[in-house]
């Protein structure tokens, strides 16, 4: 099989997180909308029950997901991930690339699949919460 066009990103994640055995990366409408909710390099995730599945076990957690710029050159994205995560570890095993998609990493395919489902649920919720006008969750 042909390696992912984003192999450089996955390699950095495997290097930074030795327990990671799997990276999943998807392009979803919701991930891209959420990546535009803020101009900064993180977006706050609403304190939903689903965060527990991503390893966040606090009452009313203030959890953010990192956002990276979508450079044409993938190696540049990978370098920025390495630089930022070497200083600040992410709270969840997930990152957003603005206007591109979401990447998760985990110790097994089952866990990575579960992370994708959870983070996509949270993104759908964030988009829907704006549609129904229940506030600027995520900003």
| Interface with Zn ion (CB under 5 A) | 101
Q: What is the chain's Cα-based Rg?
A: 14
**Residues 6+ away with beta carbon under 8 Å from 77:** 6, 8, 9, 68, 69, 70, 71, 97
Least distance between Zn ion and beta carbon 80 (Å): 15
Least distance between Zn ion and beta carbon 9 (Å): 9
Of 134, 130, 117, nearest in space to 50 by CA: 117
Q: Which of 53/101 has CB closer to Zn ion?
A: 101
Q: Which of 46/101 has CB closer to Zn ion?
A: 101
Furthest C-alpha separation in the chain: 45
Least distance between Zn ion and beta carbon 100 (Å): 6
Least distance between Zn ion and beta carbon 99 (Å): 11
Which residue has its beta carbon closest to Zn ion? Answer: 101
Q: Which of 98/106 has CB closer to Zn ion?
A: 98
Inter-axis angle of helices 74-87 and 7-16, nearest 10? 20
Q: Which of 100/122 has CB closer to Zn ion?
A: 100
Structure tokens at 15: 């290097």
**DSSP code of residue 4:** P
């Amino acid at each position: 099989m042909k390696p992912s066009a984003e192999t450089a990103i996955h390699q950095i994640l495997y290097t930074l997180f030795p327990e990671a055995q799997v990276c999943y990366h998807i392009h979803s409408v919701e991930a891209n909308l959420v990546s535009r909710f803020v101009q900064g390099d993180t977006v706050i995730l609403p304190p939903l029950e689903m965060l527990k599945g991503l390893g966040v076990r606090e009452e009313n957690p203030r959890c953010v997901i990192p956002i990276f710029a979508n450079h044409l050159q993938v190696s540049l994205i990978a370098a920025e991930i390495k630089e930022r995560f070497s200083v600040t570890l992410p709270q969840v095993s997930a990152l957003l690339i603005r206007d591109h998609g979401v990447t998760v990493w985990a110790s097994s395919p089952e866990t990575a699949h579960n992370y994708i489902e959870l983070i996509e649920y949270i993104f759908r919720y964030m988009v829907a919460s704006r549609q129904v006008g229940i506030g600027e969750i995520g900003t």
